[in-house]
Amino acid sequence: MTKRSNWSIPYFIFLVLFVVLPLVLVIVYAFQDNEGGFTLANIGQFFSDSDAISTFALSLEVAIENTLICILLGYPAAYILADKKLNRSAVTIVLFILPMWINALMRTLATSELFNVLGFTLGKGTLLFGMVYDYLPFMIYPIYNILQKMDKSYAEAAEDLGATPLQVFTKVTLPLSMPGIMSGVMMVFMPTVSTFAIAEFLTNNKIKLFGTIIQENINSSMWNYGSALALIMLIIIGITSLFNSEESNAAEGGLI
Amino acid sequence: MAKKIIEIKNVSKSFGDKDVLKDINLYINQGEFLTLLGPSGCGKTTLLRMIAGFLQPDSGSILLDGKDLEGTSPYERPLNTVFQRYALFPHLDVYDNIAFGLKLKKVPQEEIDKRVRRVLKLVAMSDYEDRDVETLSGGQQQRIAIARAIVNQPKVLLLDEPLAALDLKMRKDMQIELKEMHKQLGITFIYVTHDQEEALTLSDTVVVMNEGRIQQIGTPTDIYNEPVNSFVADFIGESNILNGTMIKDRRVSFIGHDFDCVDEGFGENVPVDVVVRPEDIYFTNDPARTQFTAKVKSCTFKGVHYEMFVDSDTGNELMIQDYDPYPVDSIVNLYVEPDDIQVMKKERVANVIEGKVTGAGKVELFGGEFECSTEGFEEGDEVVATVDFDKVDLLDNLEDGVLNGEVYFILYKGDHYHLTIRVGDGRFLYVDTNDIWDKGDLVAVNIAANDIKLSRKND
């Protein structure tokens, strides 16, 4: 073993302690009954627990809605930020990124207070607002990044070949910015599936998301069922991320 | 007579306070291969981008088939561009890149297939339809970029330094192929390059540009044999550019000798620039033919010919190209044929600078305050200052001068350098000096008080 490879040992220990070990524990707990014997009952309980399933469906729905809203709001914002004619100052970019400097929990608490003061009823609307507010910068930034680096001559070449400004966008700019959209989706969709704090504060626990149920189970010492739910969520997120990386490869490879 | 397809009338353009194009007038005939040639920053690419529609002229108009193109977006113009760095769409394969324009025009699929195959054959890339453009070499990408443009059968094909990124061998091959394509297609080509050899090889007409102005328009042979000014002579091929005096019609004096020439109409005893190409100075053993003698300073083999530098008996350095070498330090007899001497009117004989009297003994020129005699002028008077080329001092230390400038262009005139200095406000100052400077050097400019001659503006 060379000396240089010794440098990786601290990272290796860190990974084992904080990533691998917790994952193993989640898996072990998920397949254990109260006496510590092997069982599939925890997993089975989820599929017969209609509450859990509908919460899970709702979580996915909210995550998808949040992601879509973030794309619809974030793409034009990124486009304007990246266009030197429309945005001449770096300050605007910082303003868009600025909320990321403040802890998400604090912003969420502040938002919920604001809704209270304004007299809004907390519900799905306020939940989505909070999520979009929290995650929008994560959508804008990767799209902005890719648009800003994009060679202007692609758009010029398309226009030169007869594309109207709209066609330039749909046939060249949008497909070429797909990798940016995909990493934005990854950064917005995956954390929203498992979020629970935003739901707690912005709906007063009226709406429960999947993360909330896991938290509740763990809190009430139902570690085995909670672990099983966490494992199911991990698998689902894992599948979507596989789907995502295939998509972005395709975008680069030219199938769109 | 050939039909004019594009006319450019009084076009000017500036970016910020920098004038990029100044009053350009030009027409391009149907089917012509026209090249815009000039050093970087001369405005040639700006002009091409205006024809394509990516930039709008500040004033003047561009006509296509007699119709003003103002307000016509690039996508509505029946022109196509081959971009310098190709700009092939990385998310599409070769076929879809080429078919891009045709699909937008809703050409039927069979027709698209047929035309894509035809242009792929034309650029010798037949089996590459399904290839990813990023897997292609530079030369292959170039061919696809050309195919993508010509498949639309544009009225005019615009090419922006299309071969600049290729290596020498590939560039030579592509030049021949481009010329061949131009012949086959019969489309008008407007080609932008800074490579004079490429321009001479390819073009029917060459437009030489510098500092935002057209210097000369002509066939490659015209441009080479009859350059209109020292810039063109220096830019196109190798040349000896010398100060001379037109004694009378058909008689010119330079390097301290009098020569017969074929130029007339300059007047008597008028200062001129003289250009003699290095291959037009001949060696002789015949004393009757000898016009002047010189000492060989260096002799280098260049493949086809030898390139020699000689010092004439009057101390001027000349470059000579000949098939036979002559030994260094030997004294040789030389002559020049009358019709190989190209005489050009001097663009200017001294710096003429507009300025303003700012106080007793003080004048503002190019934004700097110089001392000089202001007798007969009042503070605030607008004046014109005349300064001889050899009376401008250039200094290394930027703090020592009234003005700072950048060496923009250097012309060797046999026994001294003629420099163009771009001063702070973007205007030009011309300097004769024996000192060696490099292009891009930052210099300080000083002018002695008694070398500035003032006269009233509009006198």
Chain B CB contacts of A163 under 8 Å are: 75, 100, 104
Element (H, E) at B241: strand B240-248
Are B9 and B61 a contacting pair, CB within 8 Å? yes
Which residues in chain A (121-180) have CB-CB distances under 8 A to chain B? 151, 153-154, 156-164, 167, 171-172, 175-176, 178
Q: Is the dihedral of CA B173, B176, B182, B183 positive or negative?
A: negative
Q: Do B91 and A176 touch (CB under 8 A)?
A: yes
Q: Has residue A90 got a pLDDT over 70?
A: yes
State the alpha helices, DSSP H only, in B81-137.
94-104, 109-122
| pTM as predicted | 0.78
Interface of B with A (CB under 8 A): 52, 54, 73-75, 79-81, 83, 85, 87-93, 96, 100-101, 104-105, 132, 148-149, 152
Mean pLDDT of A162-184: 93
Q: How confident is the model at residue A41 (pLDDT cuts 50, 70, 90)?
A: confident
What was the ipTM of the complex prediction? 0.75
> Is the minimum CB–CB distance between A85 and chain B shorter than 8 Å?
no
Which chain A residue shows the shortest CA-CA distance from B97? A158
**Nearest CB partner across the interface for B87, out of A153, A164, A171:** A153
Chain B CB contacts of A166 under 8 Å are: none
Question: What's residue B101's pLDDT?
Answer: 94
Question: What's residue A253's pLDDT?
Answer: 36
Which chain A residue shows the shortest CA-CA distance from B148? A161
Q: Do A253 and B80 touch (CB under 8 A)?
A: no
**Residue with structure tokens 């950048």?**
B406
Contact residues for A45 (Cβ-Cβ < 8 A; gap 6+): A225, A228
Q: How far is B105 from chain A (nearest CA, A)?
A: 8
What structural domains and CATH numbers belong to chain A?
A: 61-235 (1.10.3720.10)
**Nearest CB partner across the interface for A156, out of B54, B91, B96:** B54
The highest-confidence range among A26-35, A241-250, B56-65, by mean pLDDT, is B56-65
Q: CA–CA separation, B194 vs B203, rounded Å?
A: 13
Q: How far is A180 from chain B (nearest CA, A)?
A: 14
Q: Do B87 and A151 touch (CB under 8 A)?
A: yes
Rounded to 5°, angle at Cα A101 from A97 and A104: 105
Q: How confident is the model at residue A154 (pLDDT cuts 50, 70, 90)?
A: very high
Q: Tokens in use for B454?
A: 């003032």
Pick among B75, B141, B150, B155 to test the A interface (most A CBs inside 10 A): B75
Q: CA–CA separation, B379 vs B357, rounded Å?
A: 5
CA-based R_g, chain B, Å:
26
Q: Helix and strand tally (H, E) in chain A?
A: 15, 0
Q: How far is B392 from chain A (nearest CA, A)?
A: 42
Question: What's residue A251's pLDDT?
Answer: 42
Which chain A residue shows the shortest CA-CA distance from B134? A253
> Is the minimum CB–CB distance between A6 and chain B shorter than 8 Å?
no
Question: What's residue B138's pLDDT?
Answer: 87
Pick among A146, A149, A161 to test the B interface (most B CBs inside 10 A): A161
Ranges of chain B whose pLDDT falls below 50: none
Q: How far is A140 from chain B (nearest CA, A)?
A: 22
Are B162 and B88 a contacting pair, CB within 8 Å? no
Q: Has residue A196 got a pLDDT over 90?
A: no
Chain B CB contacts of A254 under 8 Å are: 90-93, 96, 132
Please state, rounded to an integer, the average pLDDT across all residues of chain A.
86
Q: Number of A:B CB contacts under 8 A?
A: 69
Q: Do B152 and A162 touch (CB under 8 A)?
A: yes
Chain B CB contacts of A154 under 8 Å are: 87, 89
Q: Do A154 and B89 touch (CB under 8 A)?
A: yes
Share of chain A above pLDDT 90, in %: 35
Taking alpha carbons only, the member of B381, B389, B387, B369 closest to residue B458 is B381
**Nearest CB partner across the interface for B100, out of A161, A164, A254:** A161
**Nearest CB partner across the interface for B152, out of A161, A176, A252:** A161
Q: How confident is the model at residue A250 (pLDDT cuts 50, 70, 90)?
A: very low
β-sheet bridge partners, residue B260 = B251
Chain B CB contacts of A251 under 8 Å are: 91
Are B156 and B28 a contacting pair, CB within 8 Å? yes
Q: Is the dihedral of CA B45, B163, B210, B390 positive or negative?
A: positive
> Is the minimum CB–CB distance between A252 and chain B shorter than 8 Å?
yes
Question: What's residue A237's pLDDT?
Answer: 81
Mean pLDDT of A90-101: 80
Question: What's residue A252's pLDDT?
Answer: 41
Contact residues for A94 (Cβ-Cβ < 8 A; gap 6+): none
Share of chain B above pLDDT 90, in %: 60
DSSP state of B153: -
Determine how β-strand B59-64 pairs with β-strand B205-210. Answer: unpaired
Share of chain A above pLDDT 70, in %: 94
